[in-house]
Amino acid sequence: MKYRTIGQDPATRREVSVLSLGAMNFGSRTDEKTSFAVLDRYVAAGGTFIDTSNNYAFWVSGTQGGESESLLGRWRRSRGITDEVVIATKLGARPLTPATDFTKGVEGLSAQVIRDSAAASRERLGVEKLDLLYAHIEDERVAPAETVAAFAELVAEGSVGLLGVSNHWTWRVERARALAAAAGLPGYEVLQYHHTYLRRRTDLPTLRSADGSIGVASGEVLSYLRAEPGLALVAYSPLLAGSYVRPDRPLGPEFEHPGTAARLAALHAVAKETGASAGQVVLAWLIGGQVPVIPLVGASSVAQLDESLAAVELELTEEQRRQLDEAGQA
């Protein structure tokens, strides 16, 4: 396993594995026995960075979420896991009532919600301190200053370590970080967005925004990270739910543009040259890029996890990386 440091403050920064394990379906679609087996294998391989949320996975059984956090809490206690494993969770997108979608509204990012939801996550996870806490989605109803102050208060009292943000427009991230800096408060240091090798269209309207895809690591997000090297990017869904290697899972309309075919051709050429799978090449490309990325992978079996773990040791040559980087450029 390889590792990198997230966070800049010596009091809160953590060393984590360069491959993060997503626990979204643990305790719901993935049963407890299988979930424990995947978690055990991840830790045995040197993995130290697990991701969840307080709303996972409400859509499976029509709940408010919490199944994933609760399972991780049981696993931690049964295995004697303490602070050697960093568990990141999120708040803000938990449904207000049992639901299967977001149409009935979510909790948001008010000061009261942040305090109450963080406390509930700590209880489900069985920890006194959340290692990394994200603002899961935007809340336009609450002033950014209120959200910034509420997160900072949790850090000051020692119930949260690092702060992160997911699925926000870049300008909102920068505004929140500027407010925190001006007030001498801790701000967001970890960004979590969808990111992969193929370039995704970001102009298509979504249910959450008529302006386009809000949760994608667009060129603007990547440019921001180049300018702020102290920030870390965690990339969710880097393997596109198997679309790189499974014909039964075709790419969606967001990848229908001229650059996709060229990048797929380059990806498969490098995969053939290295003897690795296309998915492993994607993960290696993300981990070793100019903007280093921590891929966040899911696994419903130990075999799936092992496939991703093998990518950590895959070293792309300069020529292979150049071939991948330049594919599809105009």
* Per-domain boundaries in the chain: 3-248+278-317
pLDDT higher than 80, residue 211:
no
Rounded CA separation 199/202 (Å) = 9
**What's residue 76's pLDDT?**
97
Q: What integer is the mean pLDDT of 178-193?
A: 98
pTM to 2 decimals? Answer: 0.96
Mean pLDDT of 7-29: 96
φ, ψ of residue 100 in degrees (nearest 5) = -120, 0
Residue 97 to residues 44, 94, 104, 108, 112, Cα–Cα distance (Å): 38, 9, 7, 13, 17
Q: Which two tokens stand for residue 85?
A: 């494993």
Q: Which helix (H) or strand (E) holds 262?
A: helix 258-274
Asked if the model's pLDDT at residue 252 lies above 70, the reply is yes
Name which of 181-190, 206-215, 241-250 the model is least confident about.
206-215
pLDDT for 207: 62
Q: Is the predicted pLDDT of residue 19 greater than 90, yes or no? A: yes
**pLDDT above 80 for 27:** yes
Q: What is the pLDDT of residue 204?
A: 77
CATH class (in words) of the domain with range 3-248+278-317: alpha beta
In this prediction, residues 262-277 reach a mean pLDDT of 97
pLDDT at position 203? 81
Q: Lowest-confidence range among 207-221, 262-276, 309-323?
A: 207-221
Model pLDDT for residues 121-157, shown as the tens digit of each residue: 999 999 999 999 999 999 999 999 999 999 999 999 9
